[in-house]
Amino acid sequence: MDKSVLLTEVGLRDGLQNLKHIISTKDKLHLLSSLIDAGLRRIQVTSFVNQKLIPQMADAEKLISKLPKTSKTQFSCLVLSPKGLDRAFETGIKNIDFSISSSESYSLKNTQMSTKEALITLRNMIKNAKGSNINVRAGIQCVWGCVYDGRPKQKNLMKLIESILEMEPDVLSLADSSGMAEPVKIFSILNDLLKKKPNLKINLHLHNNGFEFQNFKTALGLGINLFDTSFGGNGGSPFIKGSAGNLSTENAIKILKEEGYEVKINHKLISSISSWLQSKIS
């Protein structure tokens, strides 16, 4: 088994989006520089969303315009709508993450679109992005359940995944948005998917729910080697009341080292970054 794992740091996007204290572009760039120094090679820097709903992301264009010119780190953004995609295109960013929800209620709250509408919109956005030589990651939110609609039937989830895979994204990302995943359910869905498509590139986005470490280890055991993490475990959806943060980058590093994986990320520096942000918002 390949003992290397790639972490995508989402602390600048998911980690900040739920904060009431607005983090300045200058401070975001400081965090970004520190994350690069710590060894993160994939960083989701922002999202192109409605700034009235998510004011923390209002500086998306400005932030991307000031990204350091480096080939060692891949920068990406999250896009949920055609308008957001147009904005992303204008910045010249080359890595875009798309995401729709398996939950009808959450889809309406998050994007004001039904799941069916979101799927059609996703197909058009992926086509446009790939036509512009953009690296595409397509994701599904609420894979393991939603606080509003409960758990999706696995056959319906697999049908949704098949529809997305027909769009030929470079990576499929599966998110536990509501923090309802448990190890046995992580295994069931991932094992089912990998049996049908053993070479599929799958990224996992886990939230803290008391099972996050076991969920992480279960996915590792199945050969998953792409994960989203957030420094300090910050994060959560503004549209899910009491939403928990993400699997922390620090804990992911610790677990990977314990499991014998190759890790080239400075744990102490990541911890200091988390402490610095805490001092800014406390």
What is the CATH classification number for the domain harbouring 269?
A: 3.20.20.70
Is the residue at 1 inside a domain? no
Kindly state the helix (H) or strand (E) to which residue 62 belongs, with its residue range.
Answer: helix 60-65
What would the mean pLDDT of 133-140 be, rounded to a whole number? 97
Backbone angles phi, psi at 261, to 5 degrees: -85, 155
Extract the tokens encoding 85.
């995609």
Segments of 108-188 assigned E as strands: 135-141, 171-175
Looking at the structure of the chain, the number of domains it has is 1
Mean pLDDT of 251-256: 97
**Most distant CA pair in the chain: distance in Å?**
48
The confidence score (pLDDT) of residue 241 equals 76
pLDDT the model gives residue 1: 44
Query: Is residue 50 a part of any domain in this protein?
Result: yes
What is the pLDDT at residue 68? 94
Element holding 45 (H helix, E strand): strand 42-48
Q: What percent of the chain is predicted at pLDDT more than 90? A: 91
Residue 97 lies in a domain: yes
Domain range for 167 is: 6-281
Report which residue type is found at 238. P
Give per-residue pLDDT as tens, 12-47: 999 999 999 999 999 999 999 999 999 999 999 999
- Is 187 inside a domain boundary? yes
- 247 — pLDDT class (breaks 50, 70, 90): very high
How far is 35 from 12, CA to CA, in rounded Å? 10
Percent of the chain with pLDDT over 70: 99
The string of pLDDT tens digits covering residues 162-188 is: 999 999 999 999 999 999 999 999 999
Structure tokens at 50: 């409605």
Tokens standing for residue 115: 């799941």
Side-chain half-sphere of 20: how many Cα atoms within 13 Å? 1
| Domain-located, residue 10 | yes
pLDDT value at position 2?
55
Query: With the C-alpha atoms ordered 108, 112, 117, 121, is the resulting torsion angle positive or negative?
Result: negative
What is the pTM for the complete model shown?
A: 0.96
**DSSP code for 49:** -
Would you say 126 and 98 are in contact if contact means Cβ atoms under 8 Å apart?
A: yes
Q: 169 lies in a domain?
A: yes
Tell me the one-letter amino acid at 258: E
Express each pLDDT in 199-223 by its tens digit.
999 999 999 999 999 999 999 999 9
CB 200 within 8 A of CB 224: no
Q: In the chain, where do the E strands start and end? A: 6-9, 42-48, 74-79, 95-101, 135-141, 171-175, 202-205, 226-229
Q: Would you say residue 234 lies in a domain?
A: yes
**Dihedral sign of CA atoms 111, 144, 19, 15 in order:** negative
